[in-house]
Amino acid sequence: DQQVKQNSPSLSVQEGRISILNCDYTNSMFDYFLWYKKYPAEGPTFLISISSIKDKNEDGRFTVFLNKSAKHLSLHIVPSQPGDSAVYFCAATVDSGGYQKVTFGTGTKLQVIP
């Protein structure tokens, strides 16, 4: 039962253009959503997050949008840079009685072409 889905395994974008990475979820009880970036041979690093009570959060070139009715979130990167080439994971957390249970998506590999 994959509760967090990233349906696009890969995405190629030209440098300077917008990258849009999508994530869908099925559990309406998720209360916090996060995006992580992963370079080869490294662990994932936190990028940006959003609470379920918000619909947008922005941090520099990165913006996350949350559409609760559609159970969909997206990460926008503007403008895209070659250094953004990595695998991006979305994750969602739910209160499980004293601790936050986290579920990761399968990842989208972004390639930014110079």
How, if at all, do strands 56-59 and 45-51 pair?
A: unpaired
Which residue stretch of 3-11, 12-20, 61-69, 77-85 sits at the interface with other proteins (rule: CB under 8 A)?
3-11
Q: Taking Cα atoms as reference points, which of 60, 54, 18 lies closest to residue 33?
A: 54
Give the CA dihedral 39, 45, 47, 53, nearest 10 degrees: 130
Residue 93 binding other proteins, by CB under 8 A: yes
Which residue stretch of 14-22, 64-72, 78-86, 93-101 sits at the interface with other proteins (rule: CB under 8 A)?
93-101
**Out of 31, 61, 65, 111, the residue judged to bind other proteins by CB under 8 A:** 31
Residue 46 binding other proteins, by CB under 8 A: yes
Q: Maximum Cα–Cα distance for the chain, whole Å? A: 47
Nearer to other proteins, 55 or 95 (CB): 95
Residue 102 binding other proteins, by CB under 8 A: yes
C-alpha–C-alpha distance, residues 76 and 79, integer Å? 9
**Out of 7, 51, 67, 81, the residue judged to bind other proteins by CB under 8 A:** 51
Nearer to other proteins, 51 or 81 (CB): 51
Structure tokens at 7: 């349906």
